[in-house]
Amino acid sequence: MARIEEYIPIVGQPVIDDLRLLAERLKGKVVQNINSTSVGGGVAEILHRMIPFLKELGVDAHWDLIKGGEQFFEVTKKFHNTLHGMPIEISQQDFDIFLDTSRMNAEEINIFGDIVFVHDPQPLALIRNKAKNKWIWRCHIDVSEPNQKVWRFLRSFIDSYDAAVFSAPAFSQKLPIRQFLISPSIDPLSDKNKELSQESINSVLKKYNLPKDKPIITQISRFDRLKDPLGVIETYKQVKRHIDCRLVLAGGGASDDPESAEVLGEVKEAAKGDPDIHILLLAQNDIEVNALQRASTVILQKSIREGFGLTVAEALWKAKPVVASNVGGISLQIAHKYSGLLCHSVEGASFAVKQLLSSPDYARRLGENGREHIKNNFLITRHLKEYMLLFLSLYYPEDIVYL
């Protein structure tokens, strides 16, 4: 894994100097992160990089997991979907399963942090263990229009935290605690985003039997209904009527998502009979994701809902033209017609893809602008800085803090 100094050529020395100054102010504080999975999904990915960086800077950071069985994760997946506005009925039994597992976790987990940093709803109820330490709830999902029954239930825990963090302004709700806006980030030196040789890219294409004979449209995402994989196939079919191309739908599963196998089945069914649609179920292999993004002509992210949509930042960092739904944090990453194209429907997405395939100069310009925007706002160094400021804010209630 890269060391902090290696980011200097990308972001400049002063940015790294600032990180060191902040880390000094956090000396003596123990930061304990807690979430529900160590693999799959954006949260685990961010923590895998964030923790070593905080440690390297001298912040005493730790990462612990809660435990949960199949039933628990089915319930939290339901919570997740209803918070995103999907009409799913939640029963008292669901709440009971959540509370039982939370109680067990609260008994088993060792809380030792001066700052306890809880990620997403799964470990939310651990707040019952709050003593004199500070607790932050990091919400990574889009809660702009949450199911009120579930939101009220979660609020009974959220309100006891010292602060909450959301990824986009629209996700904020009126809460009795401080709430901060911190967007997630990508790591430009990780396997998923680092530069790759053409040889490495070609070898991945060869492995998946993906010829370079036609433009490649790609969506990288988990097989999840909220990512609208069927809408992606429909978009591709509409483009294909006019421009010959291939579609790559690639992604893995996450250990806390029991629905993905079912969705993958539906996707395979919809793609049946078209040899130019490539459905790739990737094991956790970031180099391959990187290579597929770099080999693509256009990247799609046709999500129905998004917490943030880090795959958009990944694609833009590679200067790829992106067509994405105007949901969640995607509008923070793409300024329409400046750093990508935003859409609201299958028809809009296919029109945008056709435009980009037909106008490579325009596509290149959008990609280059996108890369610059990601460099200034969505790299891990900015994220690290804001997390350290967040930790410090717990001890300073003012709007202007002199450190």
Partner 1 sequence: MPELTKAKEPFVFYTRLHLSELTGLRASTLGQLLELIKEVNGSCIYQHTHRFLQQHQHLSPEPPNDFAYWITDVLGEDELGEKLASIDLTQFTTIRSLREAITATIAAYLDKNPLAKVRFSKEGEEFHFIKSVSFVLPTNYVAYDLKDFMDILEKISIDSIYYHIFEARLRLERNTNDFSNWIETSIGNEKLAKEISRLDPYTFTLDGLRNKLIKIVKRKIPD
What DSSP line would sit under 8-54, residue for residue?
HHHH-HHHHHHHHHHHHHTTT-EEEEEES-SSSHHHHHHHHHHHHHH
- Counting Cβ atoms within 10 Å, is residue 365 exposed (0-12), middle (13-18) or buried (19+)? middle
Q: Which is nearer to partner 1, 98 or 171 (CB)?
A: 171
Give, for 249, the enclosing helix (H) or strand (E). Answer: strand 246-251
Nearest approach in angstroms of CB 177 to partner 1 is: 10
φ, ψ (nearest 5 deg) of residue 204: -70, -40
Among residues 131 and 403, whose Cβ is nearest to partner 1? Answer: 403
Least distance to partner 1, CB of residue 81, Å: 19
- Distance CA(230)–CA(235), nearest Å, equals 9
Instruction: Report, in Å, the least distance between residue 272 CB and partner 1.
Output: 35
Q: Would you tell me which residues interact with partner 1 (CB under 8 A)?
A: 12-15, 17-18, 21-22, 25, 144, 166, 169-170, 172-175, 178-182, 372-373, 376-377, 385-386, 389-390, 392-393, 396, 398-403
Residue carrying the six token digits 């790559």: 248
To the nearest whole angstrom, how small is the minimum distance from the Cβ of residue 21 to partner 1?
6
Residue 119 C-beta: closest distance to partner 1, Å: 18
Give residue 351's region: left, alpha or beta (phi > 0; psi -120 to 50): alpha
Q: Smallest distance from the beta carbon of 23 to partner 1, in angstroms?
A: 12
Gyration radius of the chain's alpha carbons? 21
Give 1 or 401: the residue with its C-beta nearer to partner 1. Answer: 401
Q: Which residues lie below 8 Å from residue 174, measured CB to CB, with a gap of 6+?
A: none
